[in-house]
């Protein structure tokens, strides 16, 4: 790998990590904003109570439920952030690939929701799990493919991400309902080529779309 | 009574914030999308538009641009989970009055709404004076 390419990969990997953590922290801020308003509402009600106006029990119940809901929401985001961060600091650790794919799809869902696009994940793994190292690179490769599909997606579309490890070596297939045209894929190809090389995998463009459009992208591991 | 349009896709947030603002004498309407906000300003006049930056579909910056295109006198206060300098500059360039970070302090938000209302009244007064001046000029009185 040339120095220039190495620097590109380094920069893009950092950008990927930054983007994912920013997405999660933004969602956490949203949950905190709701908690902030619920706390403020409790303060308003307390002031009213001090002036002799009783607080309806149903309203307190509603606020308590709202607080619990937002705490659970925040907790889910923090868990995702924690898992994702460990994929970076435990770069060589062996991780089940289906779980890693499901995790990156879940994270990318925040991005897809902004375009009103649905991300579907299907896992067809047999009882024998596929474990891989460099899971951060696997997740980055899947994310880059999702981004290429998202660039060509429109409101209401669905992008399907399928993981399978039989028959043959494990693979991840990303299918956009409008296909993935070459123009959409082009900006992602340089980094994808490096990533699949690092993963000892290949990137296949499954034809079937209209014109120069690929119906799906497949990242296929060279080893079973 | 101040009239505010709250534009945010986070229903739990708009429900509680509008309840708190209503108890402070503000008339609040809610729009869950940028398109809905554009439709609402065509039907009703508001003292301030409180607009979330990140929304599905049309984002806050694009919504702000389209709202001000329709009515340059609108007073837009942008709210964001991550109030970056870059976005703040972009919003100000578009003509937004203010940029606040979430979670926002309601007291601060109420002060911004008051400033928005005062600024809007000044603009309306200025437009009326210009209109009168034009009429006087065209009639040659």
pLDDT score at B110:
95
The fraction of chain A above a pLDDT of 70, given in percent, is 95
**Strand duo B26-31 + B48-52: pairing:** unpaired
DSSP A91: T
Distance CA B57, CA B38 (A): 14
The shortest CB-CB distance from B13 to any of A25, A34, A155 is to A34
Distance CA A167, CA B136 (A): 86
Q: Going by C-beta distance under 8 Å and a sequence separation of 6 or more, which residues neighbour residue A73? A: A27, A31
Given an 8 Å threshold on Cβ–Cβ distance, is B102 in contact with A35? no
Q: Could you tell me which chain A residue has the CA closest to the CA of B20?
A: A41
pLDDT score at A132:
85
Residue from B6, B11, B16 to probe the interface with A (highest A Cβ count within 10 Å)? B16
State residue B8 phi and psi, 5-degree precision: -165, 140
pLDDT score at B131:
82
Q: What is the pLDDT of residues A23-44, one digit of tens each?
A: 999 999 999 999 999 999 999 9
Q: What are the residue boundaries of the structural domains of chain B, listed by start? A: 2-139
Contact A141, A204 (CB under 8 A): no
The shortest CB-CB distance from A29 to any of B16, B19, B102 is to B102
Q: What are the residue boundaries of the structural domains of chain A, listed by start? A: 3-89, 95-221
Average pLDDT over residues A6-10: 85
The ranges of chain B with pLDDT < 70 are 83-84, 140-141
pLDDT score at A37:
97
- pLDDT band of residue A210 (cuts 50, 70, 90) is low
Does residue A211 have a pLDDT over 70? no
For A211: left if phi > 0, alpha if psi spans -120 to 50, otherwise beta; the answer is left
Q: What is the pLDDT of residues A60-115, one digit of tens each?
A: 999 999 999 999 999 999 999 999 998 888 888 888 888 899 999 999 999 999 99
Q: Which two tokens stand for residue B23?
A: 């108890």
DSSP B15: H
pLDDT score at A120:
92
Interface confidence, given as ipTM, is 0.86
A224, containing H or E segment:
none
A–B CB contacts, 8 A cutoff, strictly below = 61
Please tell me which residue, A4 or B22, carries the higher pLDDT value.
B22
**Strand duo A131-132 + A118-124: pairing:** unpaired
pLDDT score at A207:
77
Given an 8 Å threshold on Cβ–Cβ distance, is A34 in contact with B16? yes
Does the structural domain B2-139 have CATH classification 3.40.50.2300? yes
Q: Does B106 touch chain A (CB under 8 A)?
A: yes
Provide the CA A75 distance to its chain's centre, in angstroms: 17
The architecture in CATH of the region A95-221 reads: 2-Layer Sandwich (3.30)
Q: Which two tokens stand for residue A102?
A: 């499901």
């Amino acid at each position: 790998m040339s120095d220039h390419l190495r620097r590109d990969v380094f920069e893009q990997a950092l950008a990927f990590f930054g983007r994912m953590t920013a997405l999660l922290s933004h969602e956490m801020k949203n949950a905190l904003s709701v908690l902030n308003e619920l706390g403020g509402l409790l303060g308003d009600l307390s002031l009213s109570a001090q002036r002799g106006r009783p607080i309806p029990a149903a309203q307190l119940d509603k606020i308590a439920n709202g607080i619990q809901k937002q705490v659970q929401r925040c907790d889910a985001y923090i868990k995702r952030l924690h898992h994702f961060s460990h994929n970076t600091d435990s770069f060589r650790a062996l991780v089940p690939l289906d779980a890693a794919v499901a995790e990156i799809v879940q994270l990318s869902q925040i991005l897809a929701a902004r375009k009103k696009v649905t991300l579907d994940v299907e896992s067809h793994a047999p009882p024998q799990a596929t474990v891989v190292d460099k899971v951060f690179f696997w997740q980055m490769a899947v994310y880059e493919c999702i981004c290429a599909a998202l660039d060509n997606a429109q409101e209401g579309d669905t992008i399907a991400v399928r993981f399978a490890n039989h028959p043959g070596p494990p693979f991840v297939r990303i299918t956009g309902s409008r296909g993935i045209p070459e123009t959409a894929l082009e900006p992602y190809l340089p980094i994808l080529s490096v990533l699949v090389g690092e993963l000892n995998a290949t990137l296949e463009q499954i034809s079937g779309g209209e014109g120069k459009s690929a119906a799906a992208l497949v990242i296929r591991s060279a080893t079973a | 009574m101040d009239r505010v349009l709250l534009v945010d896709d986070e229903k739990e947030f708009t429900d509680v914030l509008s309840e708190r603002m209503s108890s402070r004498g503000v008339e609040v309407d809610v729009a869950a999308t940028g398109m809905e906000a554009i439709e609402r300003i065509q039907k009703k006049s508001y003292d301030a538009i409180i607009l979330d930056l990140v929304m599905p579909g049309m984002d806050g910056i694009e919504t702000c641009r389209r709202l001000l295109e329709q009515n340059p006198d609108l007073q837009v206060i942008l709210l964001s989970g991550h109030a970056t300098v870059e976005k703040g500059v972009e919003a100000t360039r578009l003509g937004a009055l203010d940029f606040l970070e979430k979670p926002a302090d309601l007291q601060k938000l109420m002060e911004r709404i008051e400033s928005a209302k005062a600024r809007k009244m000044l603009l309306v007064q200025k437009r009326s004076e210009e209109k009168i001046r034009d009429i006087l000029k065209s009639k040659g009185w």
